[in-house]
Amino acid sequence: MHFYTKNVHFPNKENAHEVSKTKPIYQTSAFSFTDFDDMENYFDGDKAYLYTRMGNPNSDDLGKGVAELEGAEMGVASAAGLSAILAGVLAVAKTGDHILATQDLYGGTWSMFSNDLKDFGIEVSFIDMEDRGAIESAIKENTVMLYSESITNPLLRVEDIEGLAKIASANKLYLMIDNTFATPYLIRPHEVGADIVAHSATKYIGGHSDVTAGVVSGSKELMTKAKGKVSMLGSNIGPFDAWLSVRGLKTLSVRMAKQCENAEALAKALNSQPGIAKVYYPKAASQTGNGAVVTIELEEDVDIMEFSKNLGWIKVVPTLAGLETSVTYPVATSHRPLPEETREKLGVTKQMIRISVGIEDERDIIDTFSEALVRTKAPSL
C-alpha cells in the first residue's frame, strides 16, 4: 500500500471475532484467565497479555502503527518521547559504553544524555555531526552508538542520515535517530540505514496536543530489549493515551501535508519582513515537504517579550505540533537545560522564536505574524 493508505489501515485484522470498526480501549490494568494453568500460557508464549505494564492491545497498536509507517520490524510505545529515547539507548548501551551525539539536540535529550545516562555509567560526547572527520576522530573502543535528529531542534538542520549510517556500519556502531520533527511522512530513517528511530508521539504522531506518548522502532531483537526496559522501568503508556495516539496517527498524512504547506509559505513571507534577522527553515528535507516548524531570530531592537504579547490568537506554549499554530521560546523552554555558553555556541539566541505551524489558512497565519511585528515597538519598524 502507498503511504496515505497505510497510514489509515493499520494494524491488519488479526482476530475474526472482533467486530468493532475501531479498536476498543482496553482500559484495564490486568487480563483475566480461566485458571492458573491458563495464566501459565502467557509465560509459555501462548497468551499475548498479562499485565498492562508489560503490554496492552492499545499500546501495541501504537507501536505497530508507527513501525509500519517507518518500515521497521517492531515498534514499542511508551509514556513520553524521552522514555522512548531512553528505552532505545538502553537496548544497546550499558555501563562502560560511550555514545556520540550531535551537539544541536533537543534540550531534554541533551540533559538526559549529560546527566542521567552518567548515572547509568554511560558516557556521551557531543560533536558536530556535519564534520565527518570529527566523528571518526571521536569514536572510541567503547563507542556503541551515533545519535542525531532527522531535523534538528530548533535550528532545523537536516541530518545526513545515510552518511551517518555508513560511518556507523563501517565502525560496527548502532545509529539512532529522533524523527519527531520530520515524522515518517517526510523522512524514514530506517530506509537509509538507521537501526533505531524514536518519536515524541506527543507531537505530530498524536497530533492534537491532548496526550503524551513516545514510540521507538527497530529490529525485533532490539525492540524486544527496548520493550523490556519500558516494562521494568515502568514507563509504559496507558491504554487511553495509546488509543488517542493511534486515532491521531491515522490523520498524520493529511495534517502534515497542510502544515508543511503552511510552514513553507510562512517561511517565505517572513524572509522579507522588517524586524526579522534570520529565518530558519529546511530545504530539500524530502520530496513530500520540509516540515511544519519555522524558527525565526528577531533583530536586536525588536522587544521579543512585547512581540509575544502581540500574537493574538496564536498560542504561546512550551512545546510544538498540534493542529493550531503556536510559538515557543527555546532559551526558556526546550533548550533551558543547556548552559548559556553552549546555547550561544550553537546559535540558540535570546531573540529566537520557534514557530509550530498549524492547519489554519496560511493567509491568517502570515497576517498575524506581520501584524505582531508592526504592533511591536521597535525603532526599525
Residue entry with cell 529522533 = 178
Assess whether pLDDT exceeds 60 at residue 148: yes
Amino acid at 37: D
In this model, does residue 381 exceed pLDDT 80?
no
Domain membership of residue 8 (yes or no) is no
Specify the number of domains making up the chain: 2
Q: Tell me: do 102 and 204 sit in the same domain.
A: yes
* Terminal-residue alpha carbon distance, the chain: 52
Domain of residue 101: give its range: 15-249
Q: Is the dihedral of CA 306, 311, 180, 117 positive or negative?
A: positive
CATH code (residue 136): 3.40.640.10
pLDDT of 278-332, one tens digit each?
A: 999 999 999 999 999 999 999 999 999 999 999 999 999 999 999 999 999 999 9
What is the average per-residue pLDDT within 228-239?
97
Q: What is the pLDDT of residue 11?
A: 66
The per-residue pLDDT of the chain, averaged, comes to 94
Contact 292, 326 (CB under 8 A): no
Report the share of the chain in percent with pLDDT over 70: 97
What contacts 90, CB < 8 A, 6 or more positions away? 120, 225, 226, 229
**144 membership: H or E segment, kind and range:** strand 143-149
Q: Which of 208, 233, 249 is the last residue of a domain?
A: 249
Dihedral angle sign, alpha carbons of residues 57, 58, 59, 64: positive
| Statement to judge: residues 19 and 133 lie in one domain | yes
Would you say residue 84 has pLDDT above 70?
Answer: yes
Pair (121, 78) in one structural domain: yes
Active site residues: 53, 106, 178, 203
Same domain, 221 and 361: no
- Point out the domain boundary residue: 198, 230, 249: 249
Residue (of 126, 118, 125) closest to 95 by Cα position: 118
Residue 61, C-alpha cell as written in the block: 497498536
Residue 128 has pLDDT above 70, yes or no: yes
